[in-house]
Structure 1
Amino acid sequence: MESITEFPLFRHLPPEIRIKIWKFVPQPTRVIGLLPPVSTWYQQYSQDMPRDSDGRELSPDEHAYDYRYVVQPQRHAIFSLLHVNREARAVWLSQFFQPPRQSQIEELNIQFGTPFINYDTDIFTIYDGWPLDGLENGIATGSRVVDGFIGLERSRIRNIAVCEFPRLIERVTSAISINTLPNLEVFTILSMGPCVFSPFKPKLVRDGLGLIVLKGYEMLVADVQRTSCEIHHLSTDIVRSHSFFNHARVFHPGSSLYPLQGHQNHLRSWLWHEMQAKNLDKAAGQIAGLWWSWLGYMLDNEDEGEEKTCPLTLDGCGEEGHSKREMRE
């Protein structure tokens, strides 16, 4: 028996039934994050302009914006029910915030890549170790970190995500400002997939222990604007066992230090300290200043049940302070 793909009698149902059906349609998972134009990003971080699949250098962007909210997956830039008919639009429109297409905020031109934002379901992402507020010829020259959610209502944000920045934790935490998100419910680690623009293809090689591992290239955050991405929710088992998250993250800053599981513990520890009422916005600075001591404390396994002392000097740290188990759980 063939499955039914159309229901032409839908319009003849009572209005209250149709409205209930519209409300049951699930919204897609979307990631929304602020990025500068592609050419700006490459000038800032790698000095070399990006190239297309044929090796030709891409021309600089001619967009009249400093930063742009990029939406992925691109096919969900607009929730489809907003354009089905007037009835469906009336049911769903009130769920969305409609930002201006482009606006000037704090002397920065901000563009929104979607006309509709849902604070309840969208995941607002800090993609990169954050650029500063001043821009000159495409290079960040200011002294203040750009608000990672500039132009949005922080009090309405429920879901955020970060990419992996273990060495730039102070900039990232300034962009997030975790204590100004009163309704935050979900904190996600976003790991970029393989780089589709790299001339080097992933391959299987033997590491120093004789194990077969995947060697590839992680997508640069700037390239989120150049391709259509998919979003996958990964189990803890996959993160712990798959080569991509443990051996193949070539562009990941600090990739030689630890795999994704270690970075997860790192972020949990930062959040634990940052959310202590008396430690407002101090944890990241101390972690950055005591980087190697902190790294050894976080990543060394406990010996026979004994733990090292937290090297930070915040409330609750020190000889009689918390344990790593407290932070991780």
Structure 2
Amino acid sequence: MTATVAAPERRRVYRLIPAEHGHRLTRQEDAVPRPAGREVLVRIRAASLNYRDLMVRRGQLGEVRDGLIPLSDGAGEVVAVGSEVTQWRAGDRVAPLFYPLWTAGKYREAYGPSALGGGNSDGVLADVIAVPEASLVRVPDTLDFAEAATLPCAALTAWQALVVRGGVAAGDTVLVQGTGGVALFGLQIATALGARVIVLSSSDDKRERASRLGAFATVNYRTTPDWDIEVRKLTDGLGVSHLLELGGPGTFDRSLRAIRAGGHIAQIGVFTGFGPQSNLMRLQLINASIDGINVGSGEQFAAMNSFIAGRGLKPVIDRSFAFDEAEAAYAHLASGQHFGKVVIRF
């Protein structure tokens, strides 16, 4: 028998419907799901968008099920629990995992299809969703729901890249590309650990804002196209210890030239597309390394949340939209004008 508390009967939900080019976003209403034995019903209070969400909608990441609920990142409160749930109770503030099956340990390819908001796995752009008990983490008490909704993908990706895989430490130098969610979380996390961060941006206004967040230096990659040379100058000719590679094929060659001997590149983004791959011989010549970064586990998420709360870090939200303005939120993210995260408040 399912144990429930005050849960609504109907919910607002957005779904992706096939269109001529990609998918259109359609708002609907339907019945609220009821939690099975080990499921938890979560009322989503806010969601945030990632570049991946644009790619899913455009059909760039493979097939998308007709009627898929999009978006992977959200936060809210427990409103009902299944009869076998022991970990959560009504009122708990939680966020679903990007990969519901990746609760701990190393990543496995089998986790991939479970990623929320893509392929065949419904996401969080709905008032209420049902989530497996083990696929939730408690969000920091220091953050409101909108701030907590930015954490599941962007923040955890930066944490995985710099802390789990990179081992960033005081005195290291870090280069981040752009001023989107992953980049700014990387800036905040690395700075909190005592590293010096260099930020690339084509906007002088965004560079100034990055400096106020603690960037050691910034470089305008549009007016300084040879930014790898400038980065080496800023690091006494050595190059950076860590690099969050967010651009993809269009930036990777310069990233290889900007990394120092023994340095670490975290391969994360594909903003410049899926073009030809670079010659990786330089990695061997300078004993550097590259890690493919794909979000993180629930265990890592919990550790990051403790760090965020302990250090008093606040996610950077560029703009918030109402639930009825979801289409405008997508458009704002696609414009590339944002500094930090784009959020939908329910």
Q: TM-score range by the shorter chain?
A: under 0.3
TM-score by length of 2: 0.22
Greater relative CO (CA pairs within 8 A, separation 6+): 2
TM-score by length of 1: 0.23
Say which structure is richer in strand. 2
Larger Rg: 1
